[in-house]
Amino acid sequence: MRNPLPTVDLIIESDDGIILIKRKNPPDGWALPGGFVEYGESIESASIREAREETGLNVELVRQFHTYSDPKRDPRHHTITTVFVARAHGRPSAGDDAKEIDIFRKENLPEQIAFDHRDIINDYFTGRY
């Protein structure tokens, strides 16, 4: 039996916008920080770990935002992601599988955004969830 893989993604709020990472590995593009949940790990712990690995920041989870489960959301695997809104203080730095890191507002989002993260970001900025 095959099952979808659980993942987490974070909308990390800063005073200047939200933090996105530019991926080192395919699929290319900018993305929300996040990744796979490890065996024996809660989604909350995975979120905090992934934020630290990819942005160098210690985050505070503010709330669970929404779960996205379209089987086509990740071209590599069938994944289900739980997205959290988080706050962080400090200066982010690209780490782990992040090649670059930057802060974006709704008005200046990058052209190439990986996975279904543009939809997630649009849901966040429009207050859909």
Q: Do 53 and 96 contact (CB within 8 A), yes or no?
A: yes
- Number of other CB atoms surrounding residue 39 within 10 Å: 5
Active site residue 100: yes
Q: Do 116 and 29 contact (CB within 8 A), yes or no?
A: no
Residues 6+ apart with CB under 8 A from 75: 27
Among candidate residues 38, 41, 100, 107, the one labeled active-site is 100
The dihedral formed by the CA atoms of 101, 91, 104 and 72, expressed in degrees to the nearest 10: 50
DSSP bridge pairs for 81: 7, 68
The residues assigned a catalytic role are 100
